[in-house]
Amino acid sequence: MSRKQLMLAALAGGALVLSACGSGDESGDKDKIVVAVAGPMTGENAIYGKNQLAGVQFAASQINEAGGIESGPFKGATIEVKSFDDVADPNQGASVAQKMCDDDDIMAVFGHSNSSVTLAAMPIYERCGMPLFVSYSSNPEITAELHENLFRTLIDDASMGAEMAYQAGRDIGAKKVGLLASDDDYGTGLVESFEETAPDAGLEVVDAIATTTGQKDFTPQLTTLRNKGIDTLVLLNTYTDAALQIKQADALGWDDVKILVTAGSNTPELVKIAGKDAVEGVLVNAVFDPNSSTEGVKSFVDAYSAENGEAPGEANAVAYDSFFVFLEGLQDGGKDRASLISSVADTESFELPIRGPFTFDENQGAAVDPDSPATALLEINGGEFVSFTP
């Protein structure tokens, strides 16, 4: 049975068992491995940090319930997950990064959620040699050059923005689009890649407007774009801004304008804030499609839902998959931070439980197959996120 088949069989039964792949079966001198999840656990963006934490915790619990790490220097050890709140603030992110570096018990970090925070914390992790697994920060600068300790399992904004442009032109049938973007690394990166791809996608970007952090009234920007005759509004931000913008656009009577939002809005919180009526028909770029019929997605959704009493979201799924990159490095001989980094870097390819085959590019970002889109398109129908059918 293949590694993926073993993982899927275990998911269906509520426990995860991996095939032995370590370089040795000798037990280490630890009976517990500590990892940390860093992200916003409080504040407007808390859903991202909490969901990433829940995804890592779910993976760790499956390993622990199956008898601990199956092979390698720490065979039989269990995994403890700690959390650190960066409140989506770069300064706080740098502060918690130093705390984790100073804690000798922490073997690896999963985080951060916001690109600006990850960019601020990266140099600190690099100086202390902390393995950093990034599953939700997508700004291209994170992997613009090689950082030996950093491994990103999510495609970057250059790929994501490009795929959104093609989705708008090919799937939605947009012609004249208006962009409304947050004035941070996330929004800036998406605008750049979307605008660059727009001509090839058959799109005219009529205007791209940046909003300010903390802004609540977007009526002036929405009115400007409406007056320029757009047929599609693209919101390049997270769900907190997108929900308010959708709600305000609905109040302005935008029934004839399609709305496309980013993967950062692929969360039920968007519906809760904007309201079910306002989000009806909104289109969502998604890294994780819970409606997919693939074996990995279905097994994960069923197992996570049974364990947690609710279906997983996007941040749950991408964090869960990233955990198994870490685990393979651990089972292949990682016995401390330095050897874990080397072990992951030396692995040519991974078989992840949800995504399946996965490889890193030369800068240890997620490798992109130009012939295979890395994102899906969802539509909100009756308050539910369903697969979009053109």
| pLDDT tens column, 18-37 | 333 332 333 345 799 999 99
Instruction: Tell me the pairing of strands 350-352 and 356-358.
Output: antiparallel
pLDDT reading at 339 higher than 90: yes
- Domain residues for 249? 158-286+374-387
Q: Which of 152, 100, 154, 153 is nearest to 130 (CA)?
A: 100
Question: Exposure pattern of 134-159 as b/e (b: 16+ CB <10 Å)?
Answer: bbbbbbbbbbeeebebbbbbbbbbbb
Q: pLDDT at position 373, please?
A: 83
Residue 94 in any domain: the answer is yes
Task: Report the mean per-residue pLDDT for the chain.
Answer: 91
257 assigned to some structural domain: yes
Does 57 lie in the same domain as 79? yes
Residue 47 domain-assigned (yes or no): yes
Answer yes or no: do 242 and 323 share one domain: no
178 and 162 in a single domain? The answer is yes
Q: Which pLDDT belongs to residue 371?
A: 75
Per-residue pLDDT at 201 exceeds 50: yes
Predicted confidence at residue 2, as pLDDT, reads: 38
Residue 9: the pLDDT is 44
Please check whether residue 368 lies inside any domain of the structure: no
What does the pLDDT read at residue 6?
A: 39
* Structure confidence at residue 16 (pLDDT): 35
**Res 324: pLDDT:** 98
In a domain, 367, yes or no: no
What is the mean predicted confidence (pLDDT) over 217-237?
97
Answer whether residue 170 shows pLDDT above 50. yes
Q: What does the chain come to in residues?
A: 390
Strand residues in 86-184 grouped as ranges (E): 106-111, 132-134, 150-152, 176-182
pLDDT mean over 113-124: 96
Which pLDDT belongs to residue 372? 79
- Same domain? 115 vs 195: no
Say if residue 34 is in the same domain as residue 62: yes
Question: Is residue 363 domain-resident?
Answer: no
Residue 160 has pLDDT above 50, yes or no: yes
CA–CA separation, 76 vs 72, rounded Å?
A: 9
In terms of domains, do 139 and 242 share one?
A: no
- Tell me 265's DSSP state: G
Residue 31 and residue 179 in one domain: no
Residues 80 and 138 reside in one and the same domain: yes
Residue 366 lies in a domain: no
The pLDDT of residue 374 is above 90: no
Count CB neighbours of 191 within 10 A.
22
Backbone φ, ψ for residue 68 (5° rounding): 95, -175
Domain count, the chain: 2
Determine the pLDDT at residue 106.
Answer: 98
Residues 333 and 217 in one domain: no
Same domain, 322 and 240: no
pLDDT at 30: 77
- Cα(242)–Cα(165) distance, integer angstroms: 18
pLDDT of residue 29: 55
Distance CA 84, CA 102 (A): 13
- Confidence tier at 3 by pLDDT (50, 70, 90): very low
Instruction: Answer yes or no: is 77 within a domain.
Output: yes
Q: What is the average pLDDT across 294-306?
A: 95
State whether 165 and 279 are in the same domain: yes
The enclosing domain of 85 has a CATH number of 3.40.50.2300
- If asked whether residues 132 and 32 sit together in one domain, one would say yes
344, pLDDT greater than 50: yes
Asked if residue 10 has pLDDT above 80, the reply is no
Mapped onto helix, strand or coil, the DSSP state of residue 283 is strand
Res. 197 pLDDT band, cuts 50 70 90:
very high
